[in-house]
């Protein structure tokens, strides 16, 4: 099924199985709801070689029926665990409409794709007003059917977090997009566990094979080994959180890469995806060049007279390869007759037997 999955385009950038991996910077919380910080993160993402920068367009007023009792705990860079009222925490990440317009112009001028994760219906309208080319749906909003339907109708590329969904729920989510004939989807494997035995990186491949859509990966935290390990499973999209300063005490900064780290991360991802290669066995040019020296060729083990039969006692397999017949033809050469006199270590060539 994966061979039938078509590419999609995000702001003119082609995303697909045989294309460079699309790397997005997650900065929805690490911008701290501050326009100046957000612009610096746009610059950092661009300088790191990332394809896109992704924000969150939030409205906590519309998000909660209980604004007092829902809390969220996270660990800062110093190891201290902070527990905050979730409504109050998210309010600090809300930016005014005029700031979003300014930021979108800034990203466009910087030459980097900007899109966002909305969490309320009017946020979709704002994204359309801003001309954002793609959408992201957060793990916790995949059953927010009114918003899914509104996004699906737009027929724009949509990245969907599936960290807390099972197979049946994914099928229901896809039905919404299929109803509106939107097949420009990337199904994203993510998780919120610290247990390696629960991370199941093969889900990246499973999502593609089972549901027939492009898939990607988003790993929490600053460790990049999981991102690198996911590459053989064919993600077309990877997402990594970016911060200007990991010591910032606000939410998510301790789990983000700083600009120089991100630059290295992007370079490694692109190098490793090249190394991932193709489903085939093909020696490299360097190996073939070295083969001509280090493989063995057939030579005379001892002096051989013209008319003498070639046997295991007078034929040897020795380096370098370019001196004599390839040693892989050893058994084909045995029992033939030498047409010429050969000294020890003289090459045995086809015209000499």
User: Three-state SS for 108?
Assistant: helix
CA–CA dist 212, 242 (Å, integer): 30
Q: Is the pLDDT of residue 45 over 50?
A: yes
Q: Is the pLDDT of residue 195 over 70?
A: yes
Where are the domains positioned within the chain? Answer: 7-276, 285-352
pLDDT of the residue at 278: 85
Average pLDDT over residues 154-162: 98
User: Three-state SS for 343?
Assistant: coil
Q: Is the pLDDT of residue 285 over 60?
A: yes
CA–CA dist 243, 73 (Å, integer): 19
pLDDT of the residue at 28: 95
Note the CATH number of domain 285-352.
Answer: 3.90.1210.10
As to burial, measured by CB atoms within 10 angstroms (0-12 exposed, 13-18 middle, 19+ buried), residue 75 is exposed
pLDDT of the residue at 1: 43
pLDDT of the residue at 250: 87
Q: What stretch of H or E contains 110? A: helix 97-110
pLDDT tens column, 299-335: 999 999 999 999 999 999 999 988 899 999 999 999 9
Note the CATH number of domain 7-276.
Answer: 3.20.20.70
CA–CA dist 245, 340 (Å, integer): 77
pLDDT tens column, 173-186: 999 999 999 999 99
CA–CA dist 295, 287 (Å, integer): 10
pLDDT tens column, 228-279: 999 999 999 999 999 999 999 888 899 999 999 999 999 999 999 999 888 8
Topology match between the domains 7-276 and 285-352? no
pLDDT tens column, 212-228: 999 999 988 888 999 99
As to burial, measured by CB atoms within 10 angstroms (0-12 exposed, 13-18 middle, 19+ buried), residue 142 is buried
Strands (E), the chain: 8-10, 13-15, 22-26, 52-57, 71-75, 81-85, 113-118, 135-137, 158-161, 185-189, 214-218, 237-241, 297-300, 315-318
User: Three-state SS for 98?
Assistant: helix
Q: Is the pLDDT of residue 2 over 70?
A: no
Residue 81: count of CB within 10 angstroms of its CB:
8
């Amino acid at each position: 099924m994966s061979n039938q999955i078509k590419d999609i385009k995000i702001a003119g950038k082609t995303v697909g199985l045989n294309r460079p991996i699309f790397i997005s910077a997650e900065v929805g919380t690490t911008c701290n709801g501050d326009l100046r910080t957000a612009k610096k993160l746009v610059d950092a993402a661009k300088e790191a070689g990332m394809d896109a920068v992704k924000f969150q367009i939030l409205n906590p007023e519309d998000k909660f029926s209980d604004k007092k009792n829902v809390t969220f705990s996270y660990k800062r860079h110093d190891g201290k665990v902070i527990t905050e009222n979730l409504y109050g925490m998210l309010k600090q990440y809300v930016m005014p409409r005029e700031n979003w317009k300014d930021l979108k112009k800034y990203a466009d001028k910087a030459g980097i794709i900007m899109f966002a994760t909305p969490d309320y219906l009017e946020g979709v309208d704002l994204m359309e007003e801003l001309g954002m080319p793609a959408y992201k749906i957060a793990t916790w909003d995949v059953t927010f059917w009114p918003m899914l339907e509104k996004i699906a109708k737009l027929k724009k590329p949509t990245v969907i977090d599936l960290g807390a969904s099972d197979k049946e729920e994914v099928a229901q989510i896809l039905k919404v997009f299929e109803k509106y004939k939107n097949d420009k989807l990337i199904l994203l494997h993510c998780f919120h566990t610290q247990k390696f035995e629960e991370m199941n990186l093969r889900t990246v491949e499973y999502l593609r094979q089972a549901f027939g859509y492009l898939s990607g990966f988003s790993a929490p935290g600053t460790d990049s080994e999981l991102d690198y390990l996911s590459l053989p499973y064919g993600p077309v999209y990877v997402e990594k959180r970016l911060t200007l300063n990991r010591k910032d005490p606000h939410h998510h900064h301790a789990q983000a890469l700083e600009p120089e780290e991100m630059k290295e991360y992007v370079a490694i991802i692109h190098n490793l995806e090249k190394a991932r290669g193709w489903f085939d066995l093909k020696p490299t040019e360097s190996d073939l060049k070295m083969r001509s020296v280090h493989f063995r060729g057939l030579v005379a083990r001892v002096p051989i007279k013209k008319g003498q039969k070639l046997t295991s006692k007078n034929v040897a397999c020795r380096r370098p390869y370019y001196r004599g017949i390839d040693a892989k033809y050893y058994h084909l050469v045995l029992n033939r007759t030498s047409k010429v006199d050969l000294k020890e270590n003289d090459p045995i060539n086809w015209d000499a037997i």
